[in-house]
Amino acid sequence: MFKYLAIAALLFSAASQPSAIEQYKALRQQVRSARQAGGQSAYLRALLQSQELLHHAPAYVNATAQAYAAMGDSSHALASLNEFVALGQTDESLLNHQSQAFAQLQKTPEYQSILKHLAANNTPITHAELAFTLPDPGIVAEDIAYDPQSKSFLITSILEKKIIRVTLDGHATDFAQSPSQWPMLAVKADPARNLLWATEVALDNFTAVPKSDWGRSALLCFNLQSGAVLRRIEGPTHSALGDMVLAQNGDPILSDGAGGGIYRLHANTLQLINGADFISPQTPATLPGSNRIFVPDYLRGIAILDLKTSRVTWLNSEGKYALSGVDGLYCVGSSLFFTQNGTSPERVLRVQLDKTYTRIVAEEIIERATSTLGDPTHGVIVNDSLYYIANSGWSELDDRGDVKPGSHLTPAHIMRFKL
């Protein structure tokens, strides 16, 4: 009983102050208003507040550097640019001399050094190998799970609204269709119970989804072998249940990338288990042997959520590691593996945590800036390897889910990195 009272108290406390989403929206409006009015001091102040809320997300560090430069504050502009570089980022407009944001600094040795580091951050790196290529370029692959019984992968499709089963040599067959004919996103296998959990999401503004369905989500449970639908649980109104992890007892834990909620399935109900800390939570990862999960927020970084108390703390990167833009997240021992498609360049990484699992102490790039990486989405740990989706196809779609003019879809790659 005391556990539920503690959770209720935390949720009430969170409700009494602006949520992270409300704070973010308010700051975005302040940034826009100050920029339109030409108020440089107000613009910089709003950017700094945004940077604090988002735990120094690289895009805001870069924007802050440009704001300092516009005000003639070269010292702070260079300091912010150096922070941006230290986060492993690059900026094509600066490398190609298309931006005049730092025109007054271009001839200084400090700025020339920064340009060299920006270029170095964009050099291709890969320590992974191609496992297989999906035969159908039109599926736009999103998430991937593994079934050890059949030694095959289950992969969700955005555009073809289904799950496919793929053998280790790349042979693909249809496993199940979305019951509602919506894009299929998250997928997780529970071989011990012969279950496959997945989500279908009526993505807002998608041409291929009826407008009357926009903003709806559902959790689906399939028989892992036959593909038969066993259960369907409708999600909260105006939700996008796009990512999922299974708790140690098999309960699905889902993140709502649109509404900021983390939900756990209890009986036939999806129960909210967090406060108002998240803006756009992505794939959670369990910390084995504990009641904690890691939750990547696409804008704020990686959080640690206590499942007993709903308390949220944020992984300490000490300003050295970029943690925004994370889509898929996976925990093995004291290492976190993640796909990062919201940074420049897009990357697949492993970071090492300290003994408390609260601070990053080292980083290893698995893949970065290769010609075949495209938009990496999700992965799965199989025995001693991380398998992840590269060249998913998302980069070729516009905001309505249609292929961009002049673009075309190419087959997704499933990459393998040996742990």
The phi, psi pair for 191, rounded to 5°, reads -60, -30
Average pLDDT, the chain: 94
The per-residue pLDDT for range 291-307, each reduced to its tens digit, is 999 999 999 999 999 99
Q: Do 20-121 and 125-418 share a fold?
A: no
Mean pLDDT of 315-331: 93
Confidence of residue 380 (pLDDT cuts 50, 70, 90): very high
CB atoms within 10 A of CB 37: 10
For the chain, what percent of residues have pLDDT higher than 70?
A: 96
CB atoms within 10 A of CB 376: 26
Confidence of residue 6 (pLDDT cuts 50, 70, 90): very low
> In whole angstroms, what is the distance from residue 338 CA to residue 331 CA?
9
CB 307 within 8 A of CB 274: no
Is 1.25.40 the CATH classification of the domain at 20-121? yes
Which one is predicted more confidently, 13 or 318?
318
Confidence of residue 317 (pLDDT cuts 50, 70, 90): confident
Map residue 350 onto helix, strand or coil: strand
> In whole angstroms, what is the distance from residue 246 CA to residue 70 CA?
48
CATH architecture of 125-418: 7 Propeller (2.130)
| Strand 241-246, strand 229-234: pairing | unpaired
Sequence spans of domains, the chain = 20-121, 125-418
What pLDDT sits at residue 15?
Answer: 52
The tokens describing 231, both together, are 């259960």
The per-residue pLDDT for range 203-234, each reduced to its tens digit, is 999 999 999 999 999 999 999 999 999 999 99
The tokens describing 152, both together, are 């095959």
What pLDDT sits at residue 3?
Answer: 40
- For residue 399, give the DSSP letter: T
pLDDT at 2 over 90: no
Confidence of residue 123 (pLDDT cuts 50, 70, 90): very high
pLDDT at 318 over 90: no
The per-residue pLDDT for range 247-257, each reduced to its tens digit, is 999 999 999 99
Residue carrying structure tokens 């949220």:
312
